[in-house]
């Protein structure tokens, strides 16, 4: 409503310029009402103050003012909505901590406001482009391998084939408590059903540029690798130590070196507080890149990929959710984080049909997520995730992984 009233006011500007004409002819000026004469004087003053701007520039400025007013009104409305989302989330968290039941009243049931006002107009005058800081390069596999060699004198042992990695992943995943359905369907969703153990986000299906550090079957980020080494490193060390004990000859020497490197990496990952932000700081350094290179190793990689999902399963179990997670539910926890994902997972179906997906996002993340916007309730988001899993599970990579189980 705010931008409509401003539009009406601003459309009077061209007519005001027409009113300048009688004043320019001389005697008729005195016949104009004082209010009109004052308006003429103000407009004339503005015109000359603007250096005699062209009609196109004046029209642009009028439209820009209209756009800015409309956008300000929308941002005020959206700000109030997302503040309510945040407050409701705090309330739910407090109720969970005290063991209280979560109800529909604990969610915002309206969908976020949508901006429908005018678009930002194009300035007819040349504008100086704002200076942007240079984009930090995203490390790719070659960078990870270089960092591992330089910092730890270590090169991950790559599998002889994709199938070898899939079989190692299947063995470890099953032994750790993941099901074949969970592993295969999440892989199908994350990689499109065709991705390799070293596939990186953006460099697949013909892509030329990495869009993140996410690598492999469950698309681990550098921060994921650092966090898993910090939190599950003891398990990785135990499993690799057992393999060393069963091995002899030159192969054992290589494994012993790998074990020594793994222990160093775990020690470095544990050297900071166990928080995502601290692990992210390491992940953005060469040391974090070196740790992330372990996703490529035939021994450590399957364990990292497994625990990326297994931590969500164990988190749900620790919170009293004993029913096995469906692959789509596990993917929600994988995508949004365990706490937020469990919020959706524990919701009864009747509530899933009514609760908007916006309840589980920050404003910026939601507005950049067309899937969550289009499929705007929990039920719809889970359904479209299942549909994509169904479709991609028939592709060659997914069939091969299913066979490895």
Q: What is the rounded distance in angstroms from the CA atom of residue 398 to the CA atom of residue 136?
A: 33
Single out the residue of 213, 299, 215 nearest to residue 261, CA to CA.
299
Residue 197 pLDDT class (50, 70, 90 cuts):
very high
pLDDT at 23 over 50: no
CA distances from 231 to 113, 237, 241, 281, 325 (A): 40, 12, 18, 16, 22
pLDDT at position 6, please? 36
Lowest mean pLDDT among 21-30, 63-72, 109-118, 232-241: 21-30
Q: Identify the pLDDT of residue 20.
A: 37
What is the mean pLDDT of the segment spanning 85-110? Answer: 93
Is pLDDT of 31 > 60?
Answer: no
Q: Does 24 have pLDDT greater than 50?
A: no
Q: Is pLDDT larger for residue 137 or for residue 39?
A: 137
For residue 265, name the pLDDT band (cuts at 50, 70, 90).
very high
| pLDDT value at residue 208 | 80
For residues 231-248, average pLDDT = 96
Q: Residue 129: what pLDDT?
A: 75
Q: For position 336, what pLDDT does the model report?
A: 84
Q: What's the confidence (pLDDT) of residue 29?
A: 45
Which contacts of 25-29 are long-range, i.e. CB under 8 A and separated by 24 or more positions?
none
pLDDT at 269 over 80: yes
Residue 10: per-residue pLDDT: 38
The reported pLDDT for the residue numbered 43 is 46
Mean pLDDT along residues 42-47: 49
Burial bucket for residue 133 (CB in 10 Å: 0-12, 13-18, 19+):
exposed
Residues 332-391 have pLDDT tens digits of 998 888 888 999 998 999 999 999 999 999 999 899 889 999 999 999 999 999 999 999
Position 114 confidence tier, pLDDT thresholds 50, 70, 90: very high
Domains of the chain: 2-106 (no CATH), 141-404 (1.10.530.10)
320: alpha, beta or left? (left if phi > 0; alpha if psi -120 to 50): left
pLDDT of residue 258: 97
pLDDT band at 330 (very low <50, low <70, confident <90, very high): very high
- CB-CB contact of 259 with 240 (8 Å): yes
Contact 393, 184 (CB under 8 A): yes
Q: What is the mean pLDDT of residues 32-60?
A: 61
Question: What is the mean pLDDT of the segment spanning 278-285?
Answer: 96
Instruction: Identify the band that residue 37 occupies on the pLDDT scale cut at 50, 70 and 90.
Output: low
Distance CA 289, CA 206 (A): 24
Q: Which of 7-11, 184-188, 314-318, 323-327 shows the lowest mean pLDDT across its residues?
A: 7-11
Residues 65-91 have a mean pLDDT of 95
Largest Cα span, the chain: 111
Please list, in sequence order, all residues whose beta carbon lies within 8 angstroms of the beta carbon of residue 99, skipping any fewer than 6 positions away. none
């Amino acid at each position: 409503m705010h931008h409509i009233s401003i539009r009406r006011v601003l459309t009077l500007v061209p007519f005001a310029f027409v009113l300048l004409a009688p004043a320019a002819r001389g005697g008729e000026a005195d016949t104009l009402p004082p209010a009109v004469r004052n308006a003429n004087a103000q407009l004339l003053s503005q015109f000359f103050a603007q250096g005699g701007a062209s009609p196109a520039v004046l029209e642009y400025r009028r439209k820009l003012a209209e756009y800015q007013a409309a956008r300000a009104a929308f941002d005020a409305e959206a700000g109030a909505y997302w503040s309510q989302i945040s407050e409701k989330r705090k309330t739910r968290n407090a109720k969970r901590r005290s063991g209280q039941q979560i109800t529909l009243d604990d969610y915002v049931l309206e969908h976020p406001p949508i901006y429908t006002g005018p678009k930002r107009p194009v300035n007819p005058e040349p504008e100086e482009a704002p200076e942007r800081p240079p984009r930090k390069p995203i490390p790719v596999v070659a960078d990870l391998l270089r960092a591992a060699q330089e910092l730890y004198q270590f090169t991950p042992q790559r599998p002889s084939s994709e199938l070898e990695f899939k079989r190692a992943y299947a063995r470890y995943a099953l032994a750790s408590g993941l099901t074949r359905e969970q592993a295969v369907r999440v892989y199908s969703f994350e990689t499109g059903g065709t991705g390799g153990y070293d596939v990186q986000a953006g460099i697949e299906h013909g892509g030329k540029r990495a869009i993140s550090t996410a690598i492999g079957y469950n698309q681990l980020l550098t921060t994921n690798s650092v966090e898993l080494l910090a939190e599950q490193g003891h398990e990785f060390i135990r499993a690799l130590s057992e393999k060393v004990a069963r091995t002899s000859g030159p192969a054992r020497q290589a494994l012993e070196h790998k074990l020594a490197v793994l222990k160093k990496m775990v020690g470095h990952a544990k050297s900071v507080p166990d928080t995502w932000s601290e692990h992210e700081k390491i992940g953005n350094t060469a040391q974090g890149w070196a740790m992330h290179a372990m996703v490529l190793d035939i021994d450590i990689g399957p364990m990292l990929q497994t625990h990326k999902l297994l931590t969500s399963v164990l988190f749900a179990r620790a919170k009293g959710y004993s029913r096995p997670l469906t692959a789509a539910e596990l993917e929600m926890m994988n995508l949004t984080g365990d706490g937020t994902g469990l919020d959706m997972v524990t919701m009864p179906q009747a509530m899933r049909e009514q609760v908007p997906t916006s309840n589980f996002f920050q404003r910026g993340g939601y507005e950049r997520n067309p899937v969550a916007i289009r499929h705007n309730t929990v039920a719809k988001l889970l359904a479209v995730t299942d549909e994509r899993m169904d479709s991609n599970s028939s592709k060659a990579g997914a069939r091969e992984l299913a066979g490895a189980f």
